[in-house]
Structure 1
Amino acid sequence: MEGELMSVMKMWIWVGTSVSYCYWMRKVIPPGPTRLLSLLPVISLFFFLPLTFSTVHLSGTLGFFLAWLANFKLLLLAFDKGPLSHPQVSLPRFAALACLPINLTKHPSTNTSHPLRYAFKALLVGLLVKAYDYTQNIHPKLIMCIYCFHIYFLLEIILALVAALARTLLGLELEPQFNNPLRSTSLQDFWGRRWNLMVTTILRPTVYHPTLRAAAALLGPKWAPLPAVFATFLVSGLMHELILFYIGRMEPTFWMTAFFLLHGLSLTLEIALKRALAATFRLPSLVSGPLTAAFVFATCISLFLPEFIRCRIDVRAFQEYAALGQLFTNLASRFSNFFHTNIII
């Protein structure tokens, strides 16, 4: 664990140097293919860096931060689009926007989430981790449901901490990362307005809008959103496969991609039905909400989470929790010994 933490410090030197290079390249090279070529070495480096770590939390987090979000933002920057293309952004803000799962908003923050809310969710994560000690007495499907909530709470806490850090150090007004996904009334509501909005924000300009423009020329504006939605979910599935590879280093089975393709097809069908039946029929939210939750949980348990189990991510994560606890214990012991030796004596 200590070796991994030292590698993190070295990695951020590479990342800081690379981001500074991108910051100055956008000033001297006009947008287009030439700027894209100048950014390709950094994009390649960001795909490689997560492979230098072996722990679940570091390889997965860096895969999400760098290989996915940062690289997609750099692709947008190549054509003078996205959050990195703002002409007045400073280098520290440019670096934060490039490397962290945050996004500027044009309006003042209205997020009134109390810190106690996240403290409560951190407590729930602890209870869920403790529940894994009794897995032999719990039905496997229920264990999968626990995994669902564990991933959701942990993601929300991590992203909230990153957002709070960026807000405190750089004064950035940030978009929220989650918007009560358990209250979703449809797949369109869940994926478009409630779940991991940072991913939604980056996929719209990089995948959805280009596909939408191409499809509009072939199918017309009414039906163009359907292939655009499907293409967006396909790319999301492939990027999830990449992050899973960073974590597990195992040959992909593409079941996770199947999960996103199924949701893409289902969401495409949902949009088509809404367009066809909106004037005559619509399910009440009291019905559509539970149906949406049931579909998300059922597909997650059958297609998404088994891939994590196949890579033994749960077992390795608990080992890392124990190693991190031992690291803090060792550091506390060293500090105590130093204090007694050099201060008291």
Structure 2
Amino acid sequence: MEGEIRSFIKAWAIVSASLTYCYFISSRIPKGKFRLLSILPIISIFTFLPLCLSSFFLQFYFGPNIGWLANFKLILFAFGKDDTLSINPSTSLLHFIVAVAFPVRIKPNSSQRIQNKETPSTASTKQDSKLNIIFVINVLIWAVMVQAYANNIVFKQETLFMKPIVAQFLYSARMLFGTQVMFVLQAALAEPLIRQETEPQFNEPYLSTSLQDFWGKRWNRTVNSLLKYTIFQPTKSLLTPIFGKRWTIHLAILATFVVSGLMHELMHFYVGRQWPTWEVMWFFVIHGVCLAIELEVKKKALKHGWRLHWMISLPLTVGFVVVTGIWLCYTELINFGADIREVEEYVAFINYVKNTLHDLGAFTKTTS
């Protein structure tokens, strides 16, 4: 445990030093290909840096932040496409590092209430309360599922949770809730550091009434924004003169999902260190194709005044996401033994904290 903590600190030191170089050196180079060339060594370092870690938790949650999201943000920074990363007199080094290294999206032209000493509106207060309640529910569900796995590992209980299909369902759900929890916690850490508000990453994805609604508005909006500006819009601009606006939209959607699939396969490689089996890629390809078909069907339906009621579209959408996610998205991780490794690390961390507190208490009694 202590060795992994030291490795994590070293990794963050490398990230901080690399982004300091980008802040002081790359930012002075004109936007475009020359600034991109200056950043390419950093992108290479960030791609391989998660391989220095052995903890599942750090590989799965730290790896994407640096190996994927930070790299995409640096590409936008190279071409001046992200105003929240622009270097100006009001942008501090800490702000730049946090904005790049954390999986957050800063609200444009929005200062933190702490800085401006503003009183939050009633609507904003209600929204914050709602988000807090949702966060607590996510934490509770995630904790219950972790505890169920922990009981099986520690006490070797032969329960329903050991059944492959049930374990796969519970692990998929646990990862969905755990991902939301980790993103919210990182945003909560980032906001006091940069003294600016960040946009909520998730917007009640369980209320999605279509794939367009789920992927475009509700699920992981930070990643959605990065893919939009790094993949979707450039592909659309490049292919529109060739294929026309209608078909280019679908090609750009498919390209975006393919890149997202590749990045998720990279995440799984960080964890398993094995050649991918491409289940995750197929998950995103299927969703990209289905989303393109959905847009065409909705366009035709709206012309005739047809609209599917939300009581039908909601369970169909959520059910499709859940079923395909269980089938394709997390099978690879289970085959890697990641579900067991994760819980073992939680148990080890809890025991480490208990032992540390016990030793601290014993030392305090001795010195007093």
Shorter chain as normaliser: what TM range?
over 0.9
Size of the aligned set, in residue pairs, is 343
What residue number does 1:240 align with?
A: 264
Alignment partners' CA distance in 2, 1:256 and 1:222: 28
| Contact 2:160-2:166 at 8 Å conserved across structures | no
Amino acid at match of 1:215: L
Once the 2 structures are TM-superposed, how far is the Cα of residue 107 of structure 1 from its aligned partner?
A: 6.6
Render the CA deviation track for 1:248-283: whole Å, top value 9, x for unaligned.
111111111011000011001111222233211221
What residue number does 2:362 align with?
A: 337
Q: Is 1:118 aligned with 2:135?
A: yes
Alignment partners' CA distance in 2, 1:107 and 1:81: 15
Alignment partners' CA distance in 1, 2:364 and 2:74: 47
| Contact 1:11-1:49 at 8 Å conserved across structures | yes
Q: Is 1:130 aligned with 2:153?
A: no
What residue number does 1:99 align with?
A: 101
Render the CA deviation track for 1:192-231: whole Å, top value 9, x for unaligned.
1001111101100000000111121112223321100000
Q: Give the TM-score normalised by the residue count of structure 2.
A: 0.89
What residue number does 2:50 align with?
A: 50
Identity of aligned residues (%): 39
SS at match of 1:105: strand
Q: In the superposition, relative to structure 1, how do residues 101 and 155 fare at CA in structure 2: closer, same or farther (>3 Å)?
A: same
Q: In the superposition, relative to structure 1, how do residues 107 and 176 fare at CA in structure 2: closer, same or farther (>3 Å)?
A: farther
Once the 2 structures are TM-superposed, how far is the Cα of residue 117 of structure 1 from its aligned partner?
A: 4.0
Q: Is 1:309 aligned with 2:334?
A: yes
What residue number does 1:28 align with?
A: 28
Query: 1:137-286, aligned counterparts within 5 Å?
Result: 137-138=160-161, 139-280=163-304, 281-286=306-311
Give ranges in structure 2 of 5+ residues lacking alignment: 113-123
Alignment partners' CA distance in 2, 1:187 and 1:128: 27
> Of 318, 321, 334, which residue of structure 2 is paired with 1:293?
318
Render the CA deviation track for 1:105-132: whole Å, top value 9, x for unaligned.
1375844145454333322222112333
Alignment partners' CA distance in 2, 1:116 and 1:216: 44
Alignment partners' CA distance in 2, 1:192 and 1:160: 19
Moved more, 251-260 or 117-126: 117-126
SS at match of 2:108: coil
Alignment partners' CA distance in 2, 1:321 and 1:100: 22
Alignment partners' CA distance in 1, 2:68 and 2:48: 12
Q: In the superposition, relative to structure 1, how do residues 135 and 121 fare at CA in structure 2: closer, same or farther (>3 Å)?
A: farther
Give ranges in structure 1 of 5+ residues lacking alignment: none
Q: In the superposition, relative to structure 1, how do residues 171 and 121 fare at CA in structure 2: closer, same or farther (>3 Å)?
A: same
| Contact 2:206-2:318 at 8 Å conserved across structures | yes
